[in-house]
Amino acid sequence: MRRFQQYVNGNFEDGSVSFESLDPSSGQPWAQMPEAKSDDVNRAVKAASKAFDAPEWCNLTATQRGKLLLKLADLIEEHVQELAEIETRDTGKIIRETSAQISYVAEYYRYYAGLADKIEGAHLPIDKPDMEVWLRREPVGVVAAIVPWNSQLFLAAVKIGPALAAGCTIVVKASEEGPGPLLEFARLVHKAGFPAGVVNIITGFGSECGAVLTSHPSVAHVAFTGGPETARHIVRNSAENLASTSLELGGKSPFIVFEDADIESAVNAQIAGIFAATGQSCVAGSRLLISRKVKDRFLELLTNKAKTITIGSPLEMNTEVGPLCSSQQVEHIQALVDKSQEQGAKVLTGGRPIEKEGFYYPPTILDCSDVKDAAAIQNEFFGPVLSILTFDSEEEAIELANDTPFGLASGVFTQNLARAHRMIKRIKAGIVWVNTYRVVSPIAPFGGHGLSGHGREGGIEAALDYTKVKTVWLRTSDDPIPDPFVMR
C-alpha cells in the first residue's frame, strides 16, 4: 500500500496519525494518507508566516517569483502522467480527463508567472499642493487554501498561482477524499526551489484541521472551493482572525436550449456539461431548460447518446464515465432520484446504481417537466444526473434559469444574437457560455453569486484578491510645516 506524506516547512513528514484512502473503482484501500491534527496545522501556518517575512522570499523581485512559477509549470508538464494516474486512482476521475486537465494546469502557473511583475499600484492626482500620493499593492500575508477532491490540481492552481504571484505564502489543505495528487504535487514544489515554508500542503478532517486552519490568527485570507454548508463554517471561523475570503461553491446551472439552436451541437455540449467528470463538477449543466418546440427531437438524440456512454475503469483510456468518489455520494444521488420520482419525475435513462465493484452510477436523465419543484431541480447532485424542464417563451426561460439560490454557471444555445445578449444580461450567474459549455482559461476569471460564493479565480482579478492596498503620502515642499496653532 502506497504511503503519502505531508509537506511542511520544506520537509516531507508523516502526519500525527494516518488514514486509508479508498480506490473508488474497487472500494478497496490503496494508500495511507497523513492526517494533520491541530499541531500539524499550527506548524504549517507558523512556517508560512515565518517564510512570508524571510528575506529568501520577501526580498525576491516579482520577476524572480515569476521564474519560480515558470519552473513549477515545466515540472508539472514533465510529470503529467504520474500525477494523472494518482488522481485517477485516488478519486475515480477518468484518466483521459485527469491527464488532459493536468497538462492545462501548467498553463495556469505560466499565466501567473507572467502576471507576477504586472500587479501594479497607481498614482493619484491628489487635490493637495506639494503632495505626491500613490497606492502600493502588497501581499496580504499567509493564505489558507482549502481544495476539494474533484479537479484538485486545477482548483489548487487557481489559488496557489495568484497567491505566490502576489508574494503571499500558503498552506493548502487537500480534501481528505482523495488527497494523493496534491501531496505528490508537493514534490514538484520542492524541486522547483521555493524557499521552505512558502508552500505547505497537508490534509485532514474538518474539526481538527480545517477549523484550526481557517480560524488561525496568522491567516490573512481563506480561499475555499466546496459546498455552501462548509463555507458557512469557514465564514464563522474567519470571524476569529478577520481574514478575507474567496468562496467558489456549488451550482445548479441552467443549460438553456431555444428552438433555433444547433440541436446536434447543443446535445454534444449537454453531454459534456453533465456527464464529463462523471458529473462531479461545480459548473455541471445539471438543469436542461428546453424549448417545448424541440424537446422531443433533442431528448431522442440526448438519451440515445447517454445510453452508449462507456462506463468502466477510470484507468482505461476508452472509459467515458468512471466511478463516483465515494459510496456516500452514490447514496446521496439515489436518495434524490428516488424522491424526485415520488414527486412525479420520469426516469428516461439510468436511475439506479450499477451493480459492480466500486462506486458507479450511470448517466441518468430525469424529465421533471410536470414537477417544477422536484428535489432534482433544486438540489445539487454532484453526479451524472440531468434534470429537464420545458419552456414556451424567453421570459419563462429566464424565470426558470433564475429560480435557484445558486448562481455559478449557465449556458445559452441560440442562433439569435439579440436574444443571446438579452439572456446574458438577465441570467443571474457568474459565467454565461453562449453556444458552448464548460470552457475555461487562465485569462478568464470564474466564480459565482448567491450560494455559489463570491470572489473570482483565474484572471487578473484573482491575483488582486491576494493583495492589500497601501496609500503613501509624500510631501514635496522644502518649506517648514506651519505651526497648526498659529492663526493666519
Which residues are known to be catalytic? 248
Q: Report whether 32 contacts 179 (CB < 8 A).
A: no
Over the range 28-53, which residues count as b (16 or more CB within 10 Å of their CB) and which as e?
Answer: eebbbbbbbbbebbebbbbbbbbbbe
Q: Which residue from 87, 88, 90, 81 is spatially nearest to 31, judged by alpha carbons?
A: 90
Helix (H) or strand (E) holding 378: helix 375-378
The three grid cell numbers given for residue 419, joined into one nine-digit string: 436574444
Cβ neighbourhood burial of 449 (10 Å; 0-12, 13-18, 19+): middle
Q: Which residue from 20, 34, 42, 40 is spatially nearest to 203, judged by alpha carbons?
A: 34
Which runs of consecutive H residues, i.e. helices, occur in 26-116? 38-53, 55-58, 62-78, 80-91, 95-115
Q: Report whether 63 contacts 288 (CB < 8 A).
A: no
Cβ neighbourhood burial of 195 (10 Å; 0-12, 13-18, 19+): middle
* Cα separation, 220 vs 352, whole angstroms: 45
* Cα separation, 80 vs 251, whole angstroms: 29
Please state at what angle helix 394-401 crosses helix 417-426, rounded to 10 degrees. 30
Q: Report whether 215 contacts 240 (CB < 8 A).
A: yes
21: which strand partners?
Answer: 31
> CA torsion 300→304→305→309, rounded to 10°?
150
Helix (H) or strand (E) holding 366: strand 364-367
